Structure 1
């Protein structure tokens, strides 16, 4: 079974509080009859804003503010559509080359690339990254500090030497990751300010499957994803006897998360409370551990519904990750930004 570690690591990469991110994902597939040969997605602050694939032959905006940006700058969408087509051809050729390098003659294969930047609007710090994966494993990655490529697999060594010797190409990529990408990100954040910089508080519930099961504190419907949730006992945050869950996306663009507490002794319940903190919101949401307020699946659909929500969100996350995104290249007469 093909590993999906690389895929999930790419998507689950999270910006810290105070930062914004512009991430490009694109995925080429071989031997997958029910999936397009090439799929591209661009995400701003983990929100999908552009989508394309080889079956529709172009790019589509996914947010109202991106549609406005395109209306103000029509060439913007032309660049995306052209790159979707060009990257499809490049990925198809590259996958064939990689199959030869790995002595593969058939089967199912996935070639991916993720690149982008993060910008801290408080400190102005900028970070960039550019990496490739093949069949769920890291293939090659750009080290921005040393301006060299890192090859974790022997099959990537030849590519590393070739790309390391292309000094003009290295300079161009560094300039894009540290200069061009942040400028585009700032433009996107400005256009999408009312959506991207909004805050939405969650509904918080206590869930328990059986009387001896852990108590799950579940928050859903919050935005942005820069949030923390934890259990406290007698006012002190707990590090033990808790299981911290991941932040997962909901279908409406909001997020959910949960943190489980091992079932405490009956006489200690009043000493516990669940605390939810959202970036940009001063007041915490506190849910005290109260047996009467716990939703269970004993004659109810509460906990079952929660499990279904988590599973659906995980599938949504995977689907978002596997859609990879196209790349910006300069047009005729300009130096190509990315390697083929």
Structure 2
């Protein structure tokens, strides 16, 4: 039976390189890892740095807009701030992953465990906060009268705490099972060292809890919201429905291919060394991570209120810059 000797479980496959080796006495074959390792070395580091920059800028702007123009203790903003924190936690692991793929793991075993756990924590909590925001919007629109009494600050804090606890528990595997190993050809790697049965369990845990469940919640909540909006005389209801459609479509488009290919790759014949599935898993997994890094930008800037806030920030910055230009020009003229 073939195993991945450097695999970060499928919840964070982008933290390690795929290196296939023959683990049985009678297999009689070895898959050549050179092509996929070279692919990862050239594709992943620049991609991680791009995601890192986009995420820091996008999430930073969202926090700035909320801080300057919004109340921090509203239910929606509490969820949104937690979502931004989730994305930043995940984003901070990307430079480590970029260095690992470009050369080898040079940060030691403690950071190996911490970085992979932070990757999982940010990734899982981001998905759950997106799901929670969909459910909260469902309550606010479909059950607005009953929900108005329950949607308070304590409600948001309690649900956010539950999300962090669930995500933390789901992210403990790397603390236990990850270690740093040295290989003659590949140097030091941060790799999964547990049993294959637990790796398979983790894969299905991710598929059910962090894909199927959020997807069903998304579809149900936004379907009911769409019906409610269309049944009312709400101004701009078509724009609201269009926004809902974009949110669901983006979640499905970015997150579904990775999970589908993940399951296909897990169930394929290990003797099939020329399969394109490992390449596809790299690409789709990182495209999914790109979405979860910058999703607050879509959630905020697709809304008209936040667009107006951003315009206000840009106008203020432009007026400040023009004032400084005028003052500097006047000072040069006087001198």
TM-score, normalisation: structure 1: 0.26
Higher relative contact order (CA 8 A, sep 6+): 2
Higher-strand-fraction structure: 1
